Amino acid sequence: MPVHNADIARIFEEIADLLEIGDANPFRVRAYRRASRVIGELQFDAAAAIQRGEALPKLPGIGDDLSDKMHEIAKTGNSALLDRLRGQLPAAITELLAIPGLGPKRVKTLYHDLDVHTLEQLHRAARDGRIRSLPGFGEKTELNILQAVEARRTKVRRFKLATAAQYAGAFAEHLRSARGVGQVVLAGSMRRMRDTVGDIDILVTAADSSDVTERFVSYGEVRQVLSRGPTRASVTLRSGLQVDLRVVPAQSYGAALHYFTGSKAHNIAIRALAQERGLKVNEYGVFKGAQRVAGETEESVYTAVGLPFIPPELREDRGEIEAARAGNLPRLIELNDVKGDLHSHTKWTDGYDSVEAMALAAKARGLSYLAITDHSRRLAAAHGLDPQRLRRQLDEIAGTALPGITLLKGIEVDILEDGTLDLPDSVLRELDIVIAAVHSSFNLSRARQTSRILRALANPLVTMLAHPSGRLIESREPYDVDMPQIVRKAAARGRFLELNAHPERLDLSDTYCRMAKDEGVLVSVNSDAHSVAQFDNLQYGIGQARRGWLTRKDVLNTRTCAELRALTGLARQTAG
């Protein structure tokens, strides 16, 4: 029975939630939360290593007890502690934690004060106006809860891209050893690098004698077989992900890959172009009457309808076909275009590794510069830096001289509610990079939130705005802000906007990336790495950047360090 890092991380997070609801020691709760983050963001398959009997490297924050529980989950798929905690609380109470805005503290209040432990009871309590009087809630929070519960009733569950990739990659590898299999490729929204994935599409080319569909439905993670046949099958995994398999002959590979990559709107537009030429396009090929004229490759499908190849990330019917016809498709950014990373954290605040370790890891990934941008003092939960501690860190950065990589002195400084910054200008002037970020007061009105951010961008010492919408995918909605006005302000003041590559953020959205491009605002694709492993987050940021039509020249950190210093220096000279 395969177990993935995401499974261990999910179980540890649920243990932390149930411990907090049950008033357990806060240090124990934090230990499980931290372990969940560390394991969920590992770039190697820790669960598989455990199952093979291999020793794991030392993982930050994970001692013997947590390591033992990791081994238990990896070997059994379950946790005795989680089962015991679930038995102490109503079975449905964990569903409440999936409602945006309801963390364990609020769930505990609802459970103890209103005896709410199901979604239906939560809906009734919000509808009847009984939540607003609870400490820490209020009328607006009650309305948000009501709307969130109603939205959840109709919403199809989706998975973060990086989480879905763990399940999809292992499943695809399982199929590659089937008899008579040729190509095995992931299609659908995963291939288009959508930030969330509703289901997984796997396309396989195989001979008629292949046992690939039998191997598909007998996979160890399958919870339910929804359908099966010689050329297609569909299953649900224990994680809740639906996986669809399609088997085609090699001569149909390109047409099928195009068809199952989507999007639906893009495919409809391509079929319309084909019809104009007297052609028919489907998953088996491109046909002129009964004769197949293309379909072995995706390129041949596009050539048949008079277009150049369109990258999967652009296939959303948002102007890509018109751009292709006019010869104006952008040459999208690639991961190896990135020269440096301008957002990273260390053990000085809430990171897991030292300045030197982060620098060496960035260098190992081919980066030539790295900005150390730990949190400022306002973020107390992250042990943010006050001016004195920041200056001590700057001394350490200056003393960490490593060949082949340049360390830049930076900070992720909080934007306070009035738009001022958490550290004085006299301190910020000592830095190479100042990333301004909203980490509090997410529920301000649109006007106040926008004004707050605009004031921060007017400070000539600010280099860029971090994770501009503040969203956490599937757990926190973007704050209400006038993003077009912020993009225009950034353009006017010579500021930059971050595309935070962390899989929980991927913020800027693809549409705002394109808006920034159109306004001439450079975007910085940053990992927001809190450990040496998290520089691999950059791959997801690049996927998002490609969905936003960004090229190498649209991205700030594709510049050399010297070019970067020139650009940021010019920005600082812009009057506020």
- pLDDT tens, position by position, 85-94: 988 877 677 7
Task: Please report the pLDDT score of residue 575 as a whole number.
Answer: 39
Q: What is the mean pLDDT of residues 262-279?
A: 96
Q: Where are the domains of the chain?
A: 5-154, 160-325, 335-572
Q: Where residue 282 falls among pLDDT bands split at 50, 70, 90?
A: very high
Higher pLDDT, 528 or 128: 528
Only one residue has tokens 């030292």, namely 354
Task: Please report the pLDDT score of residue 43 as a whole number.
Answer: 76
Task: Please report the pLDDT score of residue 576 as a whole number.
Answer: 42
Domain boundaries 160-325, corresponding CATH code: 3.30.460.10
Judge whether residue 573 has pLDDT over 70: no
Q: Is 248 helix (H, G, I), strand (E, B) or coil?
A: strand
Q: Where residue 408 falls among pLDDT bands split at 50, 70, 90?
A: very high
Residue 210: name the closest of 233, 236, 239, 193 by CA: 233
Task: Please report the pLDDT score of residue 98 as a whole number.
Answer: 77
Q: What is the pTM of this model?
A: 0.85
Task: Please report the pLDDT score of residue 286 as a whole number.
Answer: 96
CB 74 within 8 A of CB 46: yes
Q: What is the C-alpha separation between 71 and 229, in angstroms, rounded? A: 37
Q: What is the mean pLDDT of residues 269-285?
A: 96
Q: Which residues, including other chains, have CB under 8 Å from residue 156's CB and lie 6 or more apart?
A: 198
Q: Which residues, including other chains, have CB under 8 Å from residue 482's CB and lie 6 or more apart?
A: 446, 450
Judge whether residue 173 has pLDDT over 90: yes
Strands 369-372 and 340-341: parallel
Task: Please report the pLDDT score of residue 1 as a whole number.
Answer: 63
In the CATH hierarchy, which top-level class contains the domain 335-572? alpha beta
Tell me the β-bridge partners of 465: 436, 497
CATH topology assigned to domain 5-154? DNA polymerase; domain 1 (1.10.150)
- Model pLDDT for residues 33-79, shown as the tens digit of each residue: 999 988 988 878 898 889 888 888 888 889 999 999 999 999 998 89
* Encoded tokens for 325: 């016809």
Higher pLDDT, 543 or 97: 543
The DSSP output letter for 283 is T
Task: Please report the pLDDT score of residue 139 as a whole number.
Answer: 87
Q: What is the C-alpha separation between 500 and 445, in angstroms, rounded? A: 24
CB atoms inside a 10 Å sphere around CB 445: 10
- Model pLDDT for residues 442-480, shown as the tens digit of each residue: 989 999 999 999 999 999 999 999 999 999 998 888 999
* Encoded tokens for 522: 């450079």
In the chain, the percentage of residues whose pLDDT exceeds 90 is: 73
Judge whether residue 306 has pLDDT over 90: yes
